[in-house]
């Protein structure tokens, strides 16, 4: 793809989709698909409003222009009916690096059928066959559907490009970078942190589910409690904007393999009881940090011990080798929770954490191996 545009086929049938050139009879479908709120939300460069006139310009001028710069722009079509399902292409071509950026969109009527994954795989296959060595796929941090496509199509998480894309209303937002190399193995990328079975973990008393945008109010109330702030690093209360960002990006961080952030619920009532998290800081050695905190009304009922035990069991079940946790030396209640789960005190790290007013505070270190877990009831 990084060579002459003429080396790129005008028709690709692969992985159950057809990639072909856009045609005038695609105008109406293109207009509807690109005006869709979800498409508009996650592709900030998409014209707004997107009309049939806009779609006609894309079909007659915009898409053909992509080919003149060494990139390409394909319509994704149903092989059986040839109806438009979306669009896929390459841009930002850097011949010297044999690099390009892949992008795609899928019409509302074609979502949930694996169309984007199939198109990304087909596009990548032909790009690599034409000499491309590296493909980048950039997603909005909250576009987790697209991030799942990236993983399924063999792209690996590489990092975050801060403030890399403009927001229509002003300002900038980050982009999550996913990359596939020509010599990467075929097939989906194995995730470090898989999805929860049935979307949750429960013992009938507490339930853990992935943190989400609807949890902002409860998480902000929790993490601005003085006793919770004292255990934060650094011990400063978060802004509401920071909590909202955390909740909105929890699924993305999970997909990237960096952290699994949970809401802790009272299983009987469904009420929020607190939060817990697994920070996968050392995937090379199979080690992660476990943390938790509960709202005042949920304390004293053994819920923290149950939540930490559920999380530890899941972590070892997906292949982690060791968990660790740190507490302030004076936080006896948290240390009791850890010991009930099976953690063993391993030492005291002096001055490990930043404290208030420029001070440093000690941290009591606890570790857990799979063999340390107490027998299930």
Residue 261 within any structural domain of the chain: yes
77 located within any domain: yes
Half-sphere exposure in the Cβ direction for 126 (13 Å, CA): 25
Tokens of 202: 């429960």
What per-residue confidence (pLDDT) applies to 8? Answer: 66
Asked whether residue 147 is domain-assigned, the answer is yes
Average pLDDT over residues 203-207: 97
Q: Per the domain annotation, does 189 fall within a domain?
A: no
Q: What are 322's two structure tokens? A: 């060791």
State the residue range of the domain holding 305: 197-372
Q: What is the pLDDT at residue 375? A: 75
pLDDT digits (tens, 9 = 90+) for 18-50: 999 999 999 999 999 999 999 999 998 899 999
Adjacent-strand bridge partners of 290:
278
User: Strand order of the sheet with strand 11-14?
Assistant: 11-14, 17-20, 72-77, 84-94, 99-106, 134-139, 172-181, 156-166
**Measuring CA to CA, which residue among 185, 220, 205, 233 is closest to residue 305?**
205
Residue 188 domain-assigned (yes or no): no
Peptide bond into 234 cis (omega under 30): yes
Residues above pLDDT 90, as percent of the chain: 90
Same domain, 48 and 91: yes
**Backbone φ/ψ region at 35: left (φ over 0), alpha (ψ -120 to 50), beta:** alpha
Q: What is the mean pLDDT of the segment spanning 4-15?
A: 73
Quick check: 124 pLDDT over 60? yes
For all residues of the chain together, what is the average pLDDT? 94
Q: Which of 129, 147, 181 is the last residue of a domain?
A: 181
Domain CATH code at residue 290: 3.40.630.30
Domain count, the chain: 2
* Residues 289 and 349 placed together within one structural domain of the fold: yes
In angstroms, the CA 76 to CA 96 distance is: 29
pLDDT of 10 over the 80 cut: yes
Task: Output the DSSP codes for 235-277.
Answer: S-PPPHHHHHHHHHTHHHHHHHTSEEEEEEEETTT--EEEEEE
Cβ-contact 157, 255 below 8 angstroms: yes
Dump pLDDT digits (tens) for 95-104. Answer: 999 999 999 9
Tens digit of pLDDT for each residue in 248-274? 999 999 999 999 999 999 999 999 999
Residues in the chain: 377
What is the predicted pLDDT for the residue at 377? 59
Say yes or no to pLDDT of 7 above 60.
Answer: no
- Is the pLDDT at 5 greater than 60? The verdict is no
Euclidean distance between CA atoms 373 and 356, whole angstroms: 35
């Amino acid at each position: 793809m990084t060579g002459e545009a003429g080396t790129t086929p005008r028709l690709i049938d692969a992985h159950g989709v057809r990639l072909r050139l856009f045609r005038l009879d695609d105008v109406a479908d293109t207009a509807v698909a690109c005006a869709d709120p979800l498409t508009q939300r996650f592709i900030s460069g998409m014209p707004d409003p997107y009309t049939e006139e806009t779609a006609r310009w894309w079909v007659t001028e915009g898409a053909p222009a992509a080919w003149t710069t060494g990139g390409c722009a394909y319509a994704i079509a149903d092989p059986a009916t040839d109806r438009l399902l979306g669009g896929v292409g390459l841009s930002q071509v850097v011949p010297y690096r044999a690099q390009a950026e892949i992008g795609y969109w899928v019409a509302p009527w074609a979502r949930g059928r694996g169309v984007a994954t199939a198109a990304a795989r087909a596009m990548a296959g032909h790009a690599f066959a034409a000499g491309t060595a590296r493909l980048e796929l950039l997603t909005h941090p909250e576009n987790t559907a697209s991030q799942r496509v990236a993983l399924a199509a063999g792209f690996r998480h590489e990092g975050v490009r801060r403030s890399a894309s403009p927001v229509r209303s002003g300002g900038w937002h980050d982009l999550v970078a996913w990359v596939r190399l020509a010599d990467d193995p075929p097939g989906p990328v194995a995730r470090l942190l898989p999805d929860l079975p049935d979307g949750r973990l429960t013992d009938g008393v507490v339930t853990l589910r992935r943190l989400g945008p609807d949890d902002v109010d409860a998480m902000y109330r929790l993490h601005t409690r003085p006793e919770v702030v004292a255990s934060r690093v650094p011990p400063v209360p978060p802004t509401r904007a920071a909590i909202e960002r955390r909740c909105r990006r929890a699924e993305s961080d999970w997909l990237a393999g960096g952290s699994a952030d949970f809401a802790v619920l009272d299983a009987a009532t469904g009420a929020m009881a607190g939060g817990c998290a697994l920070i996968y800081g050392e995937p090379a050695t199979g080690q992660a940090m476990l943390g938790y905190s509960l709202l005042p009304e949920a304390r004293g009922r053994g819920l923290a011990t149950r939540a930490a035990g559920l999380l530890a069991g899941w972590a070892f079940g997906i292949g982690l080798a060791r968990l660790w946790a740190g507490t302030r030396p004076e936080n006896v209640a948290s240390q009791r929770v850890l010991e009930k789960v099976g953690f063993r005190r391993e030492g005291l790290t002096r001055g490990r954490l930043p404290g208030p007013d420029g001070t440093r505070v000690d941290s009591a270190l606890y570790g857990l191996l799979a063999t340390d877990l107490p027998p299930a009831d």
